[in-house]
């Protein structure tokens, strides 16, 4: 799964580098406005049932058939709802071109909904190879179609076609990889427990979407397509360096933690071991983005995306938060605490969506700043407290696990911002080199801390042992 996400990053960066030069910020802004609705529909389309399949300790054939049919019916309903709402979306943003874009993107919902149960079964079985190949094939199809149409048409339809091609190709691979086919929809009530679990997850997903996307929605509605395009490109860079890299970890974490529900010591050891490493890796990555994120945007997207680069620097704080708190949902869901996750969704929406709403009055860059600051400095401490209230993982244990990562990230940011004040190169490529050098140098300096040094030694030993096992196999 990590391999598929690395390939996805490569494809995404290549697509951004090529299409970002062929299309305008306004083109990306239009599709970003339509995607705000599509992201919401994608979150709600399975009603949390596929995650319930992964988490459930026992699952029979009737329940699995019911999950497939309910998922398909709900997806079809949301696709129709999305198509019906297209005129209102266009009116809200005052962009008539949005209506046909929404119609086209709604068709991708059906393809994804058809294979939701297949994907959940593969994750439940820890059979990740088909998921990996599905993502890779979809990414490559989207790249070829998108770049080809961007070169030919110079139109936002290239972005839309890329999304559709990726969804269709991925779904086709899932159907081929897993020969399971559902029975007739006879016992839909057999999935009642799964539906209750999924309902709580759906409420949280809706609120989490609101927290993450309100900034993009308000930027497009108040500041126009150009500002929305810059914000969208900054968000894509955030996703590539945050959720895309964390995705394979999250996909494997929920089924593993669910299997360890009755083993408190094994659960605690697994999660804290994971948290140590994710906080270190994403802490360093986020700190690098805070220092040199504008240079990354200029190199990848071109000099016309300077505003997106400034937004991306603020999003570096959110990347740090990914390594600290992105497994909150998996921890609570694996312990059957979905109602607590739902409750936290309301608090998260109030904090992060509220911060974005305040920031929009000061401009698009202020929206990114408010989002990054509220995510790292407010929501992370709260979710640590929520996860540690009960269950095998305590709040002090979490803070002890993330301390080495925080030390490394803090040093990188402190040294990098100091150097930016006095000796920062104007050329983007040279700024990237300086940013990488600062990150490596500050990390070496952090080895003076015994806890940081011990963690790096453990990571080196883990990699060495993994290579030995692979060689022996």
Summarised one tens digit per residue, pLDDT across range 128-186 is 777 778 778 888 888 888 888 888 887 878 888 888 888 888 888 887 877 777 776 66
Q: CA angle 397-400-401, nearest 5°?
A: 85
Q: How confident is the model at residue 314 (pLDDT cuts 50, 70, 90)?
A: very high
Phi then psi for residue 182, to 5 deg, are: -75, 155
Q: How confident is the model at residue 425 (pLDDT cuts 50, 70, 90)?
A: confident
Q: Which helix (H) or strand (E) holds 317?
A: helix 306-325
Lowest mean pLDDT: which of 222-236, 295-309, 321-335? 222-236
pLDDT at 52: 67
**Taken in order 356, 358, 360, 365, is the CA torsion positive or negative?**
negative
pLDDT above 60 for 336: yes
Contact 124, 116 (CB under 8 A): no
How far apart CA 9 and CA 229 sit, in angstroms, is 20
pLDDT at 43: 66
DSSP state of 349: I
pLDDT at 386: 93
- Could you tell me which residue, 197 or 431, shows the higher pLDDT? 431
Q: Cβ contacts of residue 281 below 8 Å, gap of 6+?
A: 323, 405
The burial of 431, by beta-carbon neighbours within 10 Å (0-12 exposed, 13-18 middle, 19 or more buried), is given as buried
How far apart CA 236 and CA 249 sit, in angstroms, is 19
Contact 71, 116 (CB under 8 A): yes
DSSP track, 226-291: HHHHHHHHHHHHHHHHTHHHHHHHHHHHHHHHHHTTT-HHHHHHHHHHHHHHHHHHHHHHHHHHHH
pLDDT at 418: 93
Q: What is the mean pLDDT of residues 413-434?
A: 90
On the CB side of 460, CA atoms within 13 Å amount to: 6
Q: Cβ contacts of residue 28 below 8 Å, gap of 6+?
A: 20, 156, 159, 228, 229, 232, 233
Q: What average pLDDT is seen over the chain?
A: 82
C-alpha distance from residue 92 to each of 86, 153, 163, 230 (Å): 10, 27, 23, 20
224 Rama sector, left if φ>0, alpha if ψ -120 to 50, beta otherwise: left
Residue listed under structure tokens 């708190």: 325
Q: How confident is the model at residue 408 (pLDDT cuts 50, 70, 90)?
A: very high
Task: Identify the top-confidence range among 180-194, 262-276, 334-348.
Answer: 262-276
Q: How confident is the model at residue 385 (pLDDT cuts 50, 70, 90)?
A: very high
DSSP state of 427: S
Task: Identify the top-confidence range among 16-30, 240-254, 435-449.
Answer: 435-449
Report percent pLDDT > 70 for the chain: 87
How far apart CA 134 and CA 119 sit, in angstroms, is 10
Report percent pLDDT > 90 for the chain: 24
């Amino acid at each position: 799964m990590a391999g598929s996400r690395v390939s996805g990053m490569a494809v995404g960066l290549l697509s951004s580098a090529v299409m970002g030069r062929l299309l305008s910020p306004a083109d990306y802004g239009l599709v970003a406005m339509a995607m705000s609705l599509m992201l919401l529909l994608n979150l709600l389309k399975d009603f949390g049932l596929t995650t319930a399949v992964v988490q459930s300790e026992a699952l029979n054939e009737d329940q699995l058939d019911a999950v497939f049919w309910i998922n398909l019916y709900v997806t079809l309903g949301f696709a129709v709802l999305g198509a019906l709402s297209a005129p209102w979306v266009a009116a809200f943003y005052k962009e008539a071109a949005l209506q046909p874009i929404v119609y086209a993107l709604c068709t991708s919902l059906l393809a994804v909904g058809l294979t939701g149960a297949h994907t959940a079964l593969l994750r439940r079985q820890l059979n990740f190879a088909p998921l990996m190949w599905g993502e890779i094939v979809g990414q490559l199809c989207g790249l070829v179609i998108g770049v080809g149409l961007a070169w030919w048409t110079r139109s936002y339809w290239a972005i839309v076609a890329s999304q559709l091609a990726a969804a269709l190709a991925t779904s086709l691979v899932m159907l081929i990889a897993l020969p399971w086919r559902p029975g007739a929809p006879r016992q839909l009530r057999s999935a009642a427990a799964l539906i209750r679990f999924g309902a709580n997850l759906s409420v949280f997903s809706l609120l989490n979407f609101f927290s993450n996307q309100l900034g993009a929605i308000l930027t497009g509605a108040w500041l126009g397509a150009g500002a929305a395009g810059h914000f969208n490109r900054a968000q894509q860079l955030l996703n590539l360096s945050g959720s895309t890299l964390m995705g394979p970890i999250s996909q494997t974490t929920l089924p593993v933690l669910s299997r360890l529900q009755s083993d408190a010591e094994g659960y605690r050891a697994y999660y804290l071991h994971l948290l140590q490493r994710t906080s270190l890796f994403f802490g360093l990555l986020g700190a690098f983005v805070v220092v040199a994120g504008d240079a990354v945007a200029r190199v990848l997207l071109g000099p016309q995306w300077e505003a997106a680069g400034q937004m991306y620097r603020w999003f570096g704080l959110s990347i740090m938060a990914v390594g600290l708190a992105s497994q909150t949902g998996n921890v609570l869901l694996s312990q059957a605490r979905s109602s607590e996750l739902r409750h936290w969704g309301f608090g998260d929406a109030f904090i992060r969506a509220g911060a974005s709403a305040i920031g929009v009055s000061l401009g698009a860059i202020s929206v990114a700043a408010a989002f990054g600051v509220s995510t790292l400095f407010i929501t992370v401490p709260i979710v640590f407290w929520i996860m540690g209230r009960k269950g095998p993982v305590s709040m002090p244990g979490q803070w002890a696990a993330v301390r080495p990562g925080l030390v490394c990230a803090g040093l990188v940011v402190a040294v990098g911002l100091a150097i930016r004040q006095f000796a920062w190169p104007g050329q983007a490529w040279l700024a990237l080199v300086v940013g990488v050098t600062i990150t490596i140098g500050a990390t070496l300096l952090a080895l003076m801390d015994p806890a940081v040094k011990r963690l790096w030694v453990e990571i080196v030993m883990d990699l060495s042992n993994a290579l030995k096992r692979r060689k022996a196999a």
